[in-house]
Chains A and B, each alone.
Chain A
Amino acid sequence: MASEGDGRGAERAGLPAWLMRNEAYEPPRERGSFVTKSLLGMTGVLARMRLDDGREGPLSPSAPLKLLLGLATILLTSLCRNYAFVLVVLALALARAALLPARALRRTAAVAGVASALTFAVMLPATLLGQAHSAVLLGTKVLVTTTVAMEVTLTTAAGELTRALRTLRVPATAVLTLDLALHSIVDLGRVATEVLCALRLRSVGRDHDKRSSIGGVGGVLLLKAGRSAAETADAMACRGFDGSYDVTPERPRPHQRAVDCAWLLGAAVLLALFFYLQGLV
């Protein structure tokens, strides 16, 4: 009786009958793997881009020298045919890795471990054919070079790397492109995360049309990228920046020159060891 009374009351209030029906809508289960995976992937990339473990220790060489030494070590390790030299560099790289910050160490271990394991897996047929030495040599070389590359990247701030590239006479256009690309990835990645989040919130229940939204996400990003590029160009014009990087000498840390000399001396010893060991092969 009461509900009839309520119904009549509602009709009198002008509410339509369909609005008065009890809702019993349960959205079907939706895996949402596309959006979730895209979101996770995007967030992971952003987290890695923003991870800044570029802290220099008191005994770190200056950024350009660090970049040079890293490249030289990777080159020498790749060229050497004597396993002893690879093990010497492995000892040095491991000693540095042990002192990395925890997050940087975890990333270095993950990247270097996966790379060397993959190399070893690719070289497995050689092991079966009796060339186990080659597989171990190559696997260790990949482990060492990846570790050195990660250590150089993770212990140098992004701005310092740009400065180092410019100091090493890399063309300004290349440095500007690299710099802008890195900034754009972070900026557009944030926009992509927001768009994907909105798509996820809007999709209630099973949405078979969700995959087609990829075009929409891409379109939004393209528009944003165009606008962002125009804004960057305007900002550059306003600040009088024409894309040329003038490296002003940074105020050096105390004893930086001595530290750099010590590192250069160490590199010279490593180079001598390389030639000595190569001569023995």
Chain B
Amino acid sequence: MHIPENYLSPSTCGVFAVAMVPLWMRAARHVREEVPRQKMPLVGVAAAFCFLAMMFNIPLPGGTTGHAVAGTLVAILFGPWTATLAISMALAIQAVMFGDGGILALPANCFNMAFVLPMCGYAVYVLLRGREERHSDAAGTGLGRELVAAGVGSYVGINAAALCAAIEFGVQPLLFSDAAGRALYCPYPLWVSVPAMLAGHLTVWGAAEVVFTVGILAFVRRVAPDFGLGSLAGDDVRVAPARATRPVLALVAALAVLTPLGLLATGDAWGEWSVGDLAAQVGYTPAGMAHGWEWASLMPDYSLGALPAWLGYVLSAAVGVAALLVAFRLLGAQAPSRVDFGPRHDG
């Protein structure tokens, strides 16, 4: 679902940049006001889940691959606006360091995966969960109902994001083509892009998103109930975050080590082909792609020069996860410290 460089016209990227700036600002304000300082590192851990989920490529018959995002999971744990900021940072690191998704296309990718996905997923989750308390009891029906709501929410969320990406791909040949009728950017129209994107997400990758979201949420709720925004109240502040999140960090480390499983899936995701592969498919190189700008990332495609692919994948995962943790810990250090002195008793 990562739209590469030059698949969207610069004007389309500009429109999405203009749309995303106020959303990022609003997300930053929400995070500053709602997420306590001591919980900021945990947001980094949640962003790391997204980063790792996107590294597990899952193949479909026919040669295409896809991945989960786990955006709804972050929205459930820390609120949808925090998810917008966290996933945006994960996507930025992927684009800048690993060349996964374009730099110019970053706002469009953020709109799909960091805004539409968590917002839709969270809305469905809240609707299905009802007014029941989020942590009514870990072993009872409360958790079961929450997990079902999270599963359905994540499924709807990833499909909404895939639909948005498909529409962005599909409108390119309708809006930007040369005199001969050849597309300047993505050459596939809506009636090709929408079924192609949704076929995988409605089946395999949607299921992968559900498994990822429900699995990690169940693990977190049972093993580290302090992980997440809802648990910070009263006495819980005394719980040392480091100790409370140790199992979750262990899970992140395990996922990072397992990322080379993503290499088993050969082939590209739909809409993420190289320019040469695309030219071989459609019979010509779109002019906008032939002369387009390309960013030279440090570790392109999560590879590390002459090192084996699996090692490059593990090190990329370590770099990405560590960079996200460092970024959110530094953000937390900048945030003003707030102390809750309890309810006021005037007079």
Interface residues of A (CB under 8 A from B): 82-84, 87-88, 90-92, 94-95, 97-98, 102-103, 105-106, 109, 132, 136, 140, 277, 280
Q: Is the CB of A105 within 8 A of B326?
A: yes
Instruction: State the CA gap A97–B323 with chains docked (Å).
Output: 9
- For chain B, what secondary structure do more than half of its interface residues adopt (helix, strand, loop), or is it mixed? helix
Q: Identify 16 new A-B residue pairs, CB closer than 8 A, beyond the known A84-B304, A91-B318, A102-B333.
A: A84-B305, A84-B306, A87-B315, A87-B319, A90-B319, A94-B323, A95-B322, A97-B326, A98-B321, A105-B326, A105-B333, A106-B333, A136-B298, A140-B298, A277-B305, A280-B305
B299 within 8 A of A: yes
B332:A102 contact, CB within 8 angstroms: yes
Cβ of B329 within 8 Å of any chain A Cβ, yes or no, is: yes
A contact residues around B290 at 8 Å (CB): none
Cβ contacts under 8 Å, A90 to chain B: 319
Majority secondary structure, A binding face: helix
Contacts of B13 in A (CB 8 A): none
How far, in whole Å, are A142 and B39 apart by their CA atoms in the complex?
31
Contact of A102 among B318, B323, B329 (CB under 8 A): B329
Q: Which residues of B contact A (CB under 8 A)?
A: 296, 298-299, 304-307, 315, 318-319, 321-323, 325-326, 329-330, 332-333
Report B-chain residues with C-beta under 8 Å of the C-beta of A91.
315, 318-319, 322
Q: For A136, list chain B residues within 8 Å (CB).
A: 298
Give A90 to B322 CA distance when docked, in angstroms: 10
B315 nearest CB neighbor, chain A only: A91
- In the assembled complex, the CB of B343 is this many whole angstroms from the nearest CB of chain A, namely 30
Residues of A near B332 (CB, < 8 A) are 102
Residues of B contacting A103 in the complex (Cβ-Cβ under 8 angstroms): 333
Contact B326 A84 (CB under 8 A): no
In the complex, A136 Cα to B304 Cα: how many Å? 15
| Chain B residues within an 8 Å CB radius of A106 | 330, 333
Asked if B306 and A98 make an inter-chain contact with CB atoms under 8 angstroms apart, the answer reads no
A131: shortest Cβ distance to chain B, in Å?
Answer: 14
A132 to B325, CA, bound (A): 29
Give B314 Cβ to nearest chain A Cβ, in Å. Answer: 9
Evaluate contact between B333 and A83: CB separation under 8 angstroms. no
How far apart sit A87 and B306, CA to CA, in the bound complex (Å)?
12
Assembly CA distance A98 to B44 (angstroms):
10
A277 to B308, CA, bound (A): 12
Instruction: For B307, give the chain A residue with the smallest CB separation.
Output: A84
Partner of A105, one of B305, B307, B329: B329
User: Which residue on B lies nearest to A103, using beta carbons?
Assistant: B333
Q: Which 7 A-B pairs have the closest CB atoms?
A: A84-B305, A94-B322, A98-B325, A98-B322, A91-B315, A91-B318, A95-B322
Contact B305 A83, beta carbon cutoff 8 Å: yes
